[in-house]
Amino acid sequence: MTNESVERIKALIASILEPRLAASSIAAVALTDDLDLRDDGIVDSLGYVQLIADLEIHLGPIDLADLEPEQLTNVGALARHIAGSGSFRHV
């Protein structure tokens, strides 16, 4: 896992969620590692499933089984987990 991979995944998350981020007055370029997509009202459960589906379209299958439940919607933890899995297609 490289920082570049993590940043690319965060940028992909930001681009997928750009309309939702804008509706919450959060600039996509200001997506921080500690932003919790659920707690900050960016996605609900259906929106999260859609995000993962969209990420899988771009990156391939994503296995979230090893990610702690409280980290599932945390941008930084999610991006690091995906980047560290090594099973995704590079963005």
CATH class of the 3-85 domain in this structure: mainly alpha
Question: Per-domain residue ranges for the chain?
Answer: 3-85
Give the pLDDT score at 45: 95
Distance from C-alpha of 62 to C-alpha of 68, rounded to nearest angstrom:
14
Give the pLDDT score at 90: 56
* DSSP code per residue over 28-76: GGG--TT-BTTTTTS--HHHHHHHHHHHHHHH-----TTS-GGGTTBHH
Q: What is the mean pLDDT of residues 1-14?
A: 90
- The predicted-structure confidence for 47-89, as pLDDT tens digits, reads as follows 999 999 999 999 999 999 999 999 999 999 999 999 998 655 5
- Using the predicted structure, report yes or no on whether residue 1 has a pLDDT greater than 70: no
